[in-house]
């Protein structure tokens, strides 16, 4: 990973944590996005795991910029030691450019939203998967344009800054095509929303593919403009 890209990624992460209304929750989001445990992070920092836990829960006063910088650097260093999988993913997003019309909307939340609340907000039916888990954001994608125009590496960019999100695919007929695309890429979303179809329209192989990757599947016929309005204006 080029030092310039790493530096810009570190700035992005540290800036988001520092400016967040809930720095502890944002710190936790980034730690989980890099698949790092509290124990791993605390060991690298040379502190007790309870210190990280207290920061993330808000029991301890929000860390200053210097400490946040150390935490971010540790997260990146731990990932580098494991091959830099997530650094490559997130750093590439700094320069990501999508083809026209592929992404309709992309939004990240400061706090996690349970899938049950998310489903209620967009009048969605649950096809398969758990609804007690949470997402940190969503991406609305033109299904056909994404499948036709994006390479596997470009497809990974639709996750924004976290894979713990809902991918809302528009223009689907039965949901099979976007699920096949997800199956052959390394990163998996927490949830897939099939827009414009009803439960009876969903291809029978979709739940089977979703279960293999622990993905929750929903479908909704609510207008896409209404979906975006509700998801952006909702005070989670």
pLDDT per residue as tens, the chain (236 positions): 455 567 778 888 888 888 888 889 889 999 998 999 999 999 999 999 999 999 999 888 878 888 999 999 999 999 999 988 888 777 655 545 555 568 888 787 878 899 999 999 999 999 999 999 999 889 899 888 887 877 766 676 677 667 889 999 998 999 999 999 888 888 899 999 999 999 999 999 999 999 999 999 999 999 999 998 899 876 55
Q: Which residue has the tokens 């609340």?
A: 117
Amino acid 1: pLDDT: 45
Amino acid 149: pLDDT: 75
Contact between residue 140 and residue 104 where contact means Cβ atoms under 8 Å apart = yes
CA separation for the pair 170, 194 (Å, rounded): 7
Q: What is the CATH number of domain 3-93?
A: 1.10.260
CATH 3.40.1390.20 positions along the chain are 98-233
CATH 1.10.260 positions along the chain are 3-93
Q: Are strands 216-220 and 125-128 parallel, antiparallel or unpaired?
A: antiparallel
- The domain covering 98-233 belongs, at the CATH homologous superfamily level, to HprK N-terminal domain-like (3.40.1390.20)
The b-or-e profile of 172-201 (16+ CB within 10 A means b, else e) is beebbbbbebbeebeebbbbbbbbbbeeee
For residue 94, the 8-state DSSP code is: G
Burial class of residue 202 (count of CB atoms within 10 Å of its CB; 0-12, 13-18, 19+): buried
């Amino acid at each position: 990973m080029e030092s310039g890209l790493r530096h810009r990624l570190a700035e992005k992460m540290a800036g988001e944590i520092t400016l967040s209304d809930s720095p502890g929750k944002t710190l936790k989001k980034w730690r989980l996005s890099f698949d790092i445990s509290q124990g791993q992070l605390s060991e690298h920092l040379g502190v007790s795991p309870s210190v990280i836990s207290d920061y993330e829960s808000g029991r301890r006063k929000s860390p200053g910029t210097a400490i946040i910088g150390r935490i971010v650097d540790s997260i990146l260093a731990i990932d580098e030691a494991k091959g830099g999988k997530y650094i490559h993913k997130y750093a590439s997003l700094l320069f990501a450019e999508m083809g026209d019309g592929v992404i309709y909307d992309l939004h990240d939340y400061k706090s996690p939203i349970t899938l049950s609340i998310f489903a209620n907000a967009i009048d969605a039916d649950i096809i398969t998967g758990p609804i007690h888990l949470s997402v940190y954001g969503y991406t609305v994608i033109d299904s056909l344009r994404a499948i036709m125009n994006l390479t596997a590496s470009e497809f990974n960019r639709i996750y924004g800054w976290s894979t713990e999100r809902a991918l809302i695919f528009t223009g689907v007929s039965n949901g099979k095509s976007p699920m096949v695309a997800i199956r052959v890429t390394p990163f998996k979303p927490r949830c897939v929303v099939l827009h414009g179809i009803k439960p009876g329209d969903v291809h029978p192989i979709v739940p089977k593919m979703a279960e293999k990757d622990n993905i929750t599947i929903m479908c909704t016929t609510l207008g896409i403009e209404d979906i975006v309005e509700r998801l952006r204006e909702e005070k989670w």
